[in-house]
Amino acid sequence: MSAQSPHLASPVMNTKQAAAYVHRTPNAMKILRHRRKGPKSFEQGGRIYYYVAELDRWLAAGAASDSRSNAELDPTTQAPEARPSRRARKLSPAPVKSAA
């Protein structure tokens, strides 16, 4: 049996494995962890581990907050903002400086 069945696979990964799983470098994972921007991790025996479920959750959260993969955030599907005409901007009074 060369392939492992899902219930035998480990639910945790070390930093190198987690980095490969999310297509980052181990150093990038270290930086993300230091800045508390990466997936949740834990330390055991001086080593850093990540739960696979947390890696999947982190990737899904990133996709949900990206306008390229979330249609609700896509600026091309929203009405453009109204801009004042150049003439209106030129005619508006200049701010008055107070003498203090």
Residue 13 pLDDT > 90: yes
CA distance 30 to 13: 14
Instruction: Render pLDDT for 18-30 as a digit per residue (tens, 0 to 9).
Output: 999 999 999 999 9
The pLDDT, as a whole number, for residue 5 is 42
pTM over 0.75: no
The pLDDT, as a whole number, for residue 4 is 45
Q: 3-class DSSP state for residue 12?
A: strand
The pLDDT, as a whole number, for residue 78 is 77
The pLDDT, as a whole number, for residue 69 is 73
Q: Which tops the pLDDT comparison, 10 or 57?
A: 57
CA distance 13 to 52: 7
Cα→Cα distances 21→42, 48, 91, Å = 17, 15, 58
Q: Which amino acid is at 70?
A: N
